[in-house]
């Protein structure tokens, strides 16, 4: 299935770039934002909401991150890492369910 491979390859390249490429936030911090785990306190409100309820992010959440000394470039990277992380988990969960459904299919 070359087309699927192409999509998944492009997705893997994106994840790799966001986690391991050059950036202003450390790869460790980006990895934590990606996994939404062990987030430094001033970033918790913002990053937690990016992952689970992005529509509820407020100006105050972003302001709190800035006030604690994170630069806009770092916030840019960490928000992206958190968004790509949540999306990657959904993608993986969906593909795993598809793999698991392998033998039980009906008319497909």
Partner 1 sequence: MRLDILNHGYSPGAKLLFAVIRMFSGHPLPDAAKVVFYRPGFYGTQATKFTHEAMRGPSAWSVADRELMAAFVSKVNECAFCVGAHTATAGQAYHDHAKVQAVLADLESAPVEAGLRATLRMLGKLTREGKLGAEDVREVLSAGVSRQQVEDALAVCAAFNMTNRLADVFGFELLSPEASEAGAKYLLKRGYQ
Distance CA 16, CA 3 (A): 20
37 makes contact with partner 1 (CB under 8 A): no
Nearer to partner 1, 31 or 62 (CB): 62
Is 78 buried (19+), middle (13-18) or exposed (0-12) by CB count in 10 A? buried
Q: How far is CA 29 from CA 2, 11, 39, 40, in A?
A: 34, 21, 8, 9
Return contacts of 99-105, CB within 8 angstroms, 24+ apart: none
Q: Which of 18, 29, 33, 39 binds partner 1 (CB under 8 A)?
A: 18
Distance CA 28, CA 71 (A): 16
Nearer to partner 1, 40 or 87 (CB): 87
String of contacts with partner 1 for each residue 69-108, x by CB under 8 A:
---xx-xxx-xx-xxx-xxxxxx-xxxxxx-xx--xxxxx
Of 34, 68, 69, 74, nearest in space to 51 by CA: 34
Site for partner 1 in 45-74 (CB under 8 A): 46, 49-50, 54-55, 57, 59, 62, 72-73
List of residues contacting partner 1 (CB under 8 A): 1, 3-4, 6-8, 10-11, 13-14, 17-18, 21-23, 46, 49-50, 54-55, 57, 59, 62, 72-73, 75-77, 79-80, 82-84, 86-91, 93-98, 100-101, 104-108
């Amino acid at each position: 299935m070359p087309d699927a491979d192409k999509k998944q390859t492009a997705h893997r390249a994106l994840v790799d770039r966001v986690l391991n490429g050059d950036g202003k936030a450390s790869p460790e911090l980006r990895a934590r934002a990606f996994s939404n785990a062990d987030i430094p306190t001033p970033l918790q409100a913002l990053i937690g909401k990016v992952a689970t309820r992005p529509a509820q992010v407020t100006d105050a959440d972003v302001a709190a991150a800035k006030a604690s000394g994170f630069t806009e470039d770092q916030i840019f990277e960490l928000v992206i890492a958190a968004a790509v992380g949540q999306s990657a988990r959904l993608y993986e969960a969906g593909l795993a369910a598809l793999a698991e459904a392998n033998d039980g299919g009906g008319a497909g």
